[in-house]
Structures are given as structure tokens and as C-alpha cells.
Structure 1
Amino acid sequence: MAKPVLEVKDLRVSFKMYAGEVQAVRGVSFNLNKGEVLAIVGESGCGKSVTAQTLMRLVPTPPSYIKEGSSILFDGKLEITELTEKKMEQVRGAEIGMIFQDPMTSLNPTMTIGAQISEGILKHQKVGKTEAMKRATELLTLVGMSNPEERVHQYPHELSGGMRQRVMIAIALACNPKLLIADEPTTALDVTIQAQIVDLLRDIQKKTDTSIIIITHDLGVVAEIAHRVLVMYAGKVVEQGPLNDIFYNPRHPYTWGLLRSVPRLDSDNSKELESIPGSPPDLYAPPVGCAFAARCPYAMEICKEKDPAHFDVSDNHSSACWLMHPDAPKVEPPVGIGGHAHG
């Protein structure tokens, strides 16, 4: 069995703030295999973007710090948490590429598209400017840009939002990274362009066999592209498993809530979409028990007192919920849960 491209163990990231410590990521563990697309989902503030940015050490330190005992092993040999900033600069772009959520603020308005794509190539690969520019044009072709020879000489303001996002993807792919992290890559785009960007990422993954982590709160995007899903809540992973298991056989009440808040094409849409009542806990003082207990209709006494371990549903599907305990009352998922993904 090949080694995973990425092994994250007990990742804890906190922010030192005036009022105390915000525990943004609280013991996240997962592996990512070569050529796999992993989606990390959850509502705003659950820690998914901090997790993604910590993988590239992009969260400003201070106020953030990675806590003792956290491990991010990349490519079987690089312990990301221990690398100097200088060494990280060699990894970013060359080994791990990142697509940020807002292409307008991430691109430099004073530089041409070609210059921005070739910047990473010139930094990490031993090639001249002409060769780098040629590669930039090829990358624009790869990401489905029309007239790439002209586009390389244009500036970001001359492109539409969807085109700018394609440029961001080209920059992230410039040095053939082993891992691509896409942080909410479709948030700022309209629905038709979103679909094109998701198709594009899927094509690129097939052509280049790159491993991809996609951070999103959009389960429609997840159903289209992911092989495996990590559901995060209040800085922790509450459920993880293959795409079909999470969509067809979810076992955590928070995952049920997420799935019920998504419109379905195959059901009676006269019913109102359900939202999850309440709001996520304050991560200055996280609850001692299950963080979801206060919002969970199935919460028992133990949920408020003790944080659940991960219970195995199957070999590669687990849920951190006391309902999975053999002594817990049997609870059926709400009506309409399961059956709306296609792998």
C-alpha cells in the first residue's frame, strides 16, 4: 500500500486573543492518498479554512500557534509543523498549491496574468522567462481559457470572475504540486461558473493525478467531486467516510442536519428546507461534552458530560457520536436522509 500524500494527526491550532485562547482546531486527524479528492465540510467558523491554511502554514503566527503534539506529515517525510519559514517557501507552490476563495483579492492588480503564473515557475524551476511564459500559456489552455496567448498579457481587471478563478487554478498548478488545496473555490462565483470550475478541478485531478483537498460548505460541490468527506463542527471532525457513506448512510446528527438543509431535485420541494437551530459553541470555552449537544435533538446526559470518541461504522467510515455506542437507544435518521449522491 502506497504511503498517504498527507497524514494529519491530532492537529490543534489556537489563537491567542485579548480575551483568552480561541481553540479553532481541536484535534483533527485524517489521511489523504495519492489522486484522492477529500472534501472538508461544515458551517462557517467550524475550523475548516484554518485547517487548510495551517497545512501550508499560512495562518499568521502570532496570534495563531500550532499546539504541541500536532503532526502534519507531507509526502511521508516532511513534518510541516517543524519546518522553518524558508523551507516552507520551497514547499508552497512547488509541492503544495493553493486556490484561494476570492480571486479578486488574491491576484496582483499591477501584474499581467502571465507574469503572475510564471512567477512560481521561475522561483521553483530552473527555466528562463521565455520558457516560463510558454508554460503559463499552456496552463491557461489546461484550465480552459480561451485565447491564452492574448490572456497572458492582460491584467486581472480585464477578466471576469470565472476567468480570474481559472487563473488562480493555473497559478496553483504551475509547478505540478503533489497536493492542491482549494479553499471555497466556488464561493464568489455564480452557479453556472461554479459548475464549470468543479468540472475543471475534476478534469485536472484525472489528468494529473494530483491529490486535492476541497474546503466547502456546499454539499452539491462535494457530491460532484469528492471521493471522501470529512465533516467538521466546532474545530473537530465529527464524521468521516467515503462520499456515498456520508450521503447515503450518515450517522452523525450534525451530518443529518447539513443534508436536510440542501435542496433536493428528487423530492417534494413544497416542504421548507430545514435549518439547524441554535448556533455553534464559543471556542473561547468549548463545552466539555459533545460540542453539538446543545443543538442536537437526540442529545443524552452523557453527550453534555463527555466528548464522544470516534465509533467505526465500517472500515473507513467513523462517527463521533454517543448514539453509535452499543448501549445507546436506537435512533433512525430523519426521513429523507440518504440517497442523493452519485459517486
Structure 2
Amino acid sequence: MGKPILEVKDLRVSFKMYAGEVQAVRGVSFTVEKGEVLAIVGESGCGKSVTAQTIMRLIPSPPSVIKPGSSILFDGKHDIAKMTESQMEHVRGNDIGMIFQDPMTSLNPTKTVGAQISEGILKHTKATKAEALQRSAELLTLVGMSNAQERIYQYPHELSGGMRQRVMIALSLACNPKLLIADEPTTALDVTIQAQIMDLLRDIQKKTDTSIILITHDLGVVAEMAHKIIVMYAGKVVETGTLNDIFYNPKHPYTWGLLRSVPRLDSDKNRELDSIPGTPPDLYKPPVGCAFAARCPYAMQICKEVDPEHFDIDGKGHSAACWLNHPDAPKVELPVGIGRGAHG
């Protein structure tokens, strides 16, 4: 696809608290190509949102600390990890846009929708107020809102949840960013509106060729949109691959657990949805071996003693940090209803 628009290398982010240091992100690396949709999935507390907000440099420091050696290379030349706040002001909203989880708390209740969308346009371009307001109406039309000329004079509380999320998407697209980060954009919405928002993001991506990082805990949400998926657990990437790799040939037991928690139309109607037993590890003091070992039904002694490196699966970018992929590991069959064959 060419040179990546974003390269994250060995990203480590900690929070220094009274009780100690929370190692929220522990050596995360990935790339996003131009026009690509990358999904970052995992349960709550795995480090997805911290990773996304660190890319935007939105996490206050202190208490957060980006550890030495971390690199966030944007557009091949800017290391976001080393940028000052004044430099980041030129990046946020202009080169990188972000859609937040809850539009009701992310939008300013005292300003009209048009004024909030116009703010970024006025800051990063030479547009007049009238031109910025007209651009705001055009963006609202782009994201599927009717009567856009009237909507720009309304306040967030006058809109439904789905409409507010469309405003957030319009706001993030105001300056034609090269990269869009969507942090669980459908969390607070009902299922029907979720589908509409995902369809909208897919259409916008195709029309504008914008790269998108989609943060979610729901693999079902990304099934029709993502080109590449990374699965996070306890602040680390445990598996990465294409959409087909993760859905049809997953190689990490945590990914299996996530997949078995998603309802499928083609599965046995009497099969109960699985849950992953136990709780994530305490990141004040991460475990020595594999962080998932305590919850994994396939854990071996080595899993509890040595943290696995990523094993290359196919030589085409699919990898998983699981000792079951070692040539000497016992063969394990994929759980019923997952993938298309045996693991190993």
C-alpha cells in the first residue's frame, strides 16, 4: 500500500499513582497504511483507549508518562511522542481527527453544533466565519443529517444520541484529516443506530480514502469494515492479522474467547454464548509470564514463567503471542464454532 501514514513502535505508557505505577500500555507496535481501516479490539481495561488518546496526546502528564524508546511516527516524519503541546495543536483536528465514545459529554452544551464544527475550520484554515458555517452544513449533509442548514443553529441537547454522534463525525472530518481515530463510536447507541453509524464510517472512508483506527471491544462491529485487526490484552498486542486471519484462523486463546462471545447467525441456535472466566491482571504488577495464562484453559508451565514473543503464522503479517504456536507445543483443536480448522 506504500509508506504507512502511522507507525507506532514499542509504545509504553504508564500512570504514576499514589499506590505505584500502572503499566497501561506495554510495548505496543503497529502500522496504519493510507486508506486502511485498522481495528483495535479487546475487553475494557486492555489499553485500547489509552493507546488512541496517546496518539492524540490527550492524556494529561502527569500522571501519564510516555516511556523512553516509544515512537509514534506520523506521515513518515513527525514523532508525536516527542512533540510539544503547541506542535500538537497543529496536528489535532487538522491531520488527525478523533471521534470520542460519548458525544453528549464530548460536545460543548453551551455552543451550537455549527459553532463547534466551525471552530476547527477557523483554527486550521483561512476560512471566514460564514464560510466555516457553510462548510459545517456541508459536513452535516455528508454524515447523513437532514435539514443541515437548520441543524447548525441547534444545541447538542436538542439532538438524539445518533444525531450527536453524526455531529462528532462531522467535527472530526472538518479539516479533511489524513487519519481518523474512532474510539468506540457506537458504545452509547442502540443496535439499529450502531449499524447506521458503522455504515456511515465505511462510506466516508471509501469516499475520502481516509485511514481509520477503530477502537472497540466488539469483534462483530468490525466484521465488515476492518482491513486489519490487532487484539490487545493487558496492555499488549496478543494477535495481529487481516480480517480473515482473525475471524477464520485465529491463533490466540484470548481471540477465541472474544469470537465465542459474539452471536452468529450460522451457529447452533442452542449454543450459549461463552464468557472468559476470571479477571484481567493487575497492571500495577503485571505477571511474569503470559498475562492471559491465569484465565487460559490451555496454559502450560512455560506460559506462567516466560512471556511469549510473537510467533509468525504465515509470513504475511499474521502473528500471535502464544506458546501454542511454538513448533514443540501440543496441537490444540480450535473450539467449536471458530475458524476453519485446527490450531497449530
CA distance in structure 1 between the partners assigned to 2:118 and 2:339 by the alignment: 45
- Give the Cα separation in 2 of the matches to 1:306 and 1:218: 29
Judge conservation of contact 1:263–1:269 (CA < 8 Å) in 2: no
Q: Secondary structure at the match of 1:225?
A: coil
Q: Deviations over 1:124-174 (max 9, x none)?
A: 001101111110010001000010010011111110000000000000000
Letter of the 2:226 partner, please give it.
A
Output the CA distance in 1 between the equivalents of 2:162 and 2:99: 13
User: Which residue of 1 is the match for residue 272 of structure 2?
Assistant: 272
What letter corresponds to residue 332 of structure 1 in structure 2? E
Q: Are the aligned partners of 1:229 and 1:241 in contact in 2 as well (CA < 8 Å)? A: yes
What CA RMSD, in Å, does the superposition of the two structures yield over aligned residues?
Answer: 0.7
Which whole-Å CA distance do the structure 2 matches of 1:60 and 1:184 have between them? 20
CA distance in structure 2 between the partners assigned to 1:222 and 1:97 by the alignment: 19
Output one character per residue of 1:204-223: Cα deviation in whole Å (capped at 9) or x when no partner: 00000000000001111110
User: In the aligned structure 1, how far is the partner of 2:41 from the partner of 2:178?
Assistant: 22
CA deviation profile, 1:290-341 (whole Å, cap 9, x unmatched): 00000001111110000000001111100000010111111111111026xx
Amino acid at match of 1:213: I
Q: Which moved more, 1:206-215 or 1:329-338?
A: 329-338
1:1-343 correspondence runs (5 A) = 2-314=2-314, 315-338=316-339
The secondary structure found in structure 1 opposite 2:224 is helix
* CA distance, structure 2, for counterparts of residue 16 and residue 67 of structure 1: 12
Task: State the 4+ residue runs in structure 1 displaced beyond 2 angstroms.
Answer: none
Provide Cα deviations, 1:215-246, integer angstroms capped at 9, x if missing partner.
00111111021111000000000000000110
For 1:58 and 1:70, locate their aligned partners in 2 and report how far apart those are by CA, in whole Å: 16
Secondary structure of the corresponding residue to residue 232 of structure 2: strand
- Comparing 280-289 with 262-271, greater Cα deviation is found at 262-271
- SS of aligned partner of 2:109: coil
Asked if structure 2 preserves the Cα contact closer than 8 Å seen for 1:113 and 1:155, the reply is: yes
Amino acid at match of 1:333: L
Give me the whole-angstrom Cα distance separating, in 1, the residues matched to 2:162 and 2:274.
Answer: 31
- CA offset digits 1:173-204 (Å, max 9, x no partner): 00000000000000000000000000000000
Q: Indicate the SS of the match to 2:250.
A: coil
Equivalent position SS for 2:197: helix
CA deviations 1:3-43 (Å, max 9, x no partner) are 10000000000000001000000000000000000000000
Measure the CA separation in 1 of the matches of 2:297 and 2:271: 20
Secondary structure of 2:333's partner?
coil
- 1:75-96 per-residue CA deviation (whole Å, 9 max, x = no partner) reads 0000001100000011000000
- In structure 2, C-alpha distance between the alignment counterparts of 1:333 and 1:272, rounded to whole Å: 17
Q: Give the AA of the match of 2:310.
A: H
What is the total number of aligned residue pairs between the two structures? 339
Give the Cα separation in 1 of the matches to 2:116 and 2:234: 36
TM-score w.r.t. length of structure 2: 0.98
Q: Could you list the runs of 5+ residues in structure 2 that have no partner in the other structure?
A: none
Stretches of structure 1 lacking an aligned partner (at least 5 in a row):
none
Cα deviation for residue 271 of structure 1 reads 1.8
* Distance of 1:322 and 1:240 partners within structure 2: 15
Measured in 2, the distance between the counterparts of 1:94 and 1:62 equals: 25
CA distance in 1, matches of 2:188, 2:242: 27
Q: Is the 8 A contact 1:198 1:224 kept in 2?
A: no
Q: For the residues of structure 2 that align with 1:112 and 1:224, how far apart are their CA atoms? A: 34
- SS for the counterpart of 1:198 is helix
TM-score (norm 1): 0.98
